[in-house]
Amino acid sequence: MVLVFMLLILSKRLSAIVALIVVPVVFSLAIGSGPQTGEMVMGGILKVAPTAIMLMFAILFFAVMYDAGLFEPAIRRIMRSVGDDPLRITIGTAALSTIISLDGDGSTTVLVVISAFLPVYLRLGMNPLILAVMLLLTNTILNVVPWGGPTARAASALHLDAMTVFTGLLPTLVIGLAYAFAAACPDSRFGDVDGIEACSPAGANDGGLAVALVINYPRLVDQKERIAAHSESVLTVIALIFAGGAFTGVLSGTGMVAAMSQAFLNIVPDSAGPYMSVIAAVAAIPFTFFMSNDAFFFGILPILSGAGAQYGVDPLHIARASLLGQPVHGLSPLLAPAYLLSGLLQRDVGDLQRYCLIWAFGSSFVLILAALATGAII
């Protein structure tokens, strides 16, 4: 079933949402689980409902705040402070990308950062690919926020809370950002001329959205326009999460996960079993480069998690480990923002990959080491 799903979406014969729904239903009927199919689908959907609700309000909240100009003061301040110093410009690029990436959308970050900094790079004769490195290293780390695609998919696939997956990775992500800013120093030379949770994540985001709409858009018609403007992206993400819940519900309910996990265990040496989280982290690097996030998180991750469970490895650690290959995934030929970035820089995607991959691999391995050191994965 997983293989058919992956082939369908990698060949673009079906969209991810359609494949996530149709494939498990067809296979469930084929193996004689017809009467239980609806129950398994609903069970999977109910498990991911809290994640979907949180994401819906979070995406709308950050989109509305961006429309209201939340990031404009930061952009102006950074542009004033960098001057004509290549090092400060490179660090400023990373800083702006870090701030804009909080909305969890790669395309938005690419558009804002490129439009702000590309003229500066060209005026000073700096290599525009340095800009790409800074953008890549920061955006792919911040894209792990709970309302970003990768964490939402990982949480949905393993029926975990997205905020729980994310909070355990916070120290790791801080170290990853430190690596990104440290990379600005050598790169610039090449261009030289336990908290308290006050309320649930869903409650915080829907409350924040309500306040943001009332303050920034007092008129009812303006509020409706802002919600409608971002409804397409919200609906796409939410539909994907619910479809993923249906897929994993059938995958688990029919016993397929257990069977595939056992097959995977047969080729993993017993001595390596307790280190399944590390294996998952390393495997995520090539897997997410050569296949889409949907194929990896909904097709491969449940197998890795099931295999890890046989050795007592917490699925939460497997979920976190699966996110550590995102810096390399950012250069995947399957990823639209990579083509957007190369197009705006007027460079070939191959040039982008050749220049940035070494830094992306470095970022992923720093994240893996940091996750082990901080206990995010064991």
**Residue 346 included in any domain:** yes
Tokens of 242: 């619910």
**Residue 338 included in any domain:** yes
Q: With beta carbons less than 8 A apart as the criterion, state whether 249 and 44 touch.
A: yes
Q: How far is CA 225 from the centre of its chain?
A: 27
Structure confidence by residue, pLDDT tens digits, 151-180: 988 998 898 988 899 999 999 999 999 999
Burial of 357 from C-beta contacts in 10 A (0-12 / 13-18 / 19+): middle
**Residue 155 included in any domain:** yes
**Residue ranges, the chain, pLDDT below 50:** 188-198
Cite the beta strand spans of 62-153 per DSSP E: none
pLDDT recorded at residue 146: 84
Sign of CA dihedral 12, 13, 15, 19: negative
Closest to 7 in 3D by CA, of 262, 299, 238 = 299
**Residue 261 included in any domain:** yes
Structure confidence by residue, pLDDT tens digits, 48-94: 787 778 767 776 876 787 777 766 776 677 767 777 788 888 998 89
Into how many domains does the chain fold?
Answer: 1
Residue type at position 248: T
Sign of CA dihedral 219, 220, 223, 224: negative
**Residue 22 included in any domain:** no
CA–CA separation, 35 and 30 (whole Å): 12
Q: What is the DSSP letter of 273?
A: G
CA–CA separation, 152 and 238 (whole Å): 10
Q: With beta carbons less than 8 A apart as the criterion, state whether 70 and 112 touch.
A: no
Closest to 157 in 3D by CA, of 318, 29, 274 = 318
243 φ, ψ to 5°?
-65, -40
Burial of 3 from C-beta contacts in 10 A (0-12 / 13-18 / 19+): exposed
Q: What is the DSSP letter of 297?
A: I
DSSP characters over 152-213: HHHHHHHT--HHHHHHTTHHHHHHHHHHHHHHHHHHHHHT-------S-HHHHHHHHHHHHH
The helix-helix angle for 276-290 and 315-322 (nearest 10°) equals 40
pLDDT recorded at residue 45: 86
Provide CB contacts within 8 A for 30, sequence distance 6+. Answer: none
**Residue 6 included in any domain:** no
pLDDT recorded at residue 105: 66
Residue type at position 353: Q
Sign of CA dihedral 196, 200, 201, 205: negative
Give CA angle at 60 (94, 111), nearest 5°.
Answer: 35
**Residue 30 included in any domain:** no
> What percent helix, strand, coil does the chain show, rounded to 5?
80, 0, 20
| Range(s) of the domain holding residue 228 | 35-374
**Residue 207 included in any domain:** yes
Closest to 212 in 3D by CA, of 67, 109, 55 = 67
CA–CA separation, 38 and 73 (whole Å): 50
Write out the H or E segment, with its range, that includes residue 21.
helix 16-30
Q: With beta carbons less than 8 A apart as the criterion, state whether 365 and 326 touch.
A: no
